[in-house]
Chains A and B, each alone.
Chain A
Amino acid sequence: EDQVTQSPEALRLQEGESSSLNCSYTVSGLRGLFWYRQDPGKGPEFLFTLYSAGEEKEKERLKATLTKKESFLHITAPKPEDSATYLCAFVPNSGYALNFGKGTSLLVTP
C-alpha cells in the first residue's frame, strides 16, 4: 500500500536551532512528493514539490530534498513564526488527489 510516514510527530526547537523533518515513502510510481505547512484552524499552504531523487528546493529558511526512499525538510535558524504543522503528501498512481502523512508539529520558542 502506498503511504508516507512522517517523523517526528512533534518537534520543539529553540529559535536559531536548525533541524530536519523526515518523510519516508513507499509509493509505486511517485508522481511528486509535496510539502505543505498548516497553521491551526487554517487550510494547508503549499511549500514545495519534488519529482525525482536528488532534487532540492529552497524557500527562505526551508529546504526540501528527495532521495529514493525519503524526503527531508530542513529548517535553518528557525524563528517562532515557523511554528506550524508540516505535512508531506503524494499523488497515487490511481488518482489525482493528494494523500497526506500525519504531519510533524513544530514549535519554535524564542
Chain B
Amino acid sequence: GAVVSQHPSRVICKSGTSVKIECRSLDFQATTMFWYRQFPKQSLMLMATSNEGSKATYEQGVEKDKFLINHASLTLSTLTVTSAHPEDSSFYICSARQSGGTGELFFGEGSRLTVL
C-alpha cells in the first residue's frame, strides 16, 4: 500500500512552547490529508481536514488557532500545536487518501506528544 511518513515519532516539550509535526505522502500525491488525535485507550478522533493550497477545515470543538495546519504541497501537511499545555499531550496521527485510489486512507505511524 501507499506510504505515509510522520515526523517526529516522539516529542517532549515544555508547557507554552510550540511543536510542529510533519506528514508526508512518500509515493503518491494527496490533495487531502486528515489529522486525528488519539488519547490512551480511545479511538481516533478527527481533528481537521487539510486541503492542498487552501485553509483547513476543523471539526467542532477543535481550536484552529491552537492547532495550525498547513498543506503547502501535494505531499506535505504540517500540524503545529501552539503554546502547548499538558492537556494537549496525545498521539497525533495523519492520514492521506491516494488521488484516484479506491477510497482507503493510509495512515502515518503517529507522533506521541508529551507536554511537561
Q: Are A and B a genuine interacting pair, yes or no?
A: yes
CA of A49 to CA of B32 in the docked complex: distance in angstroms?
19
A-B contacts, 30 of them at CB < 8 A, read A34-B104, A41-B91, A41-B110, A41-B112, A42-B110, A43-B4, A43-B93, A43-B95, A43-B108, A43-B109, A44-B44, A44-B93, A45-B107, A46-B1, A46-B104, A46-B106, A46-B107, A49-B102, A91-B103, A96-B32, A96-B34, A97-B34, A97-B46, A97-B49, A97-B95, A99-B46, A100-B43, A100-B44, A102-B42, A102-B43
Q: Mark A79-109, 1 if CB is under 8 A from B, else 0.
A: 0000000010001000111111111000000
> Is B74's beta carbon under 8 Å from chain A?
no
Chain B binding surface SS class: strand
Residues of A within 8 A of B110 (CB): 41-43
Q: Smallest CB-CB separation from A98: which chain B residue?
A: B105
Closest 3 CB pairs of A and B: A43-B107, A102-B43, A100-B43
Chain A binding surface SS class: loop
Q: Mark B16-44, 1 if CB is under 8 A from A, else 0.
A: 00000000000000001010000000111
Q: Mark A27-52, 1 if CB is under 8 A from B, else 0.
A: 00001101010000111111001000
Residues of A within 8 A of B71 (CB): none
Please determine whether A42 and B49 come into contact, CB atoms closer than 8 angstroms: no
CA of A105 to CA of B94 in the docked complex: distance in angstroms?
22
Q: How far in angstroms is the closest Cβ of chain A from B71? A: 14
Residues of B within 8 A of A46 (CB): 1, 104-107
* Contacts A42-B109, A42-B110, A45-B107 given; does A95 touch B49 at CB 8 Å: yes
Residues of B within 8 A of A100 (CB): 43-44
Residues of B within 8 A of A101 (CB): 43
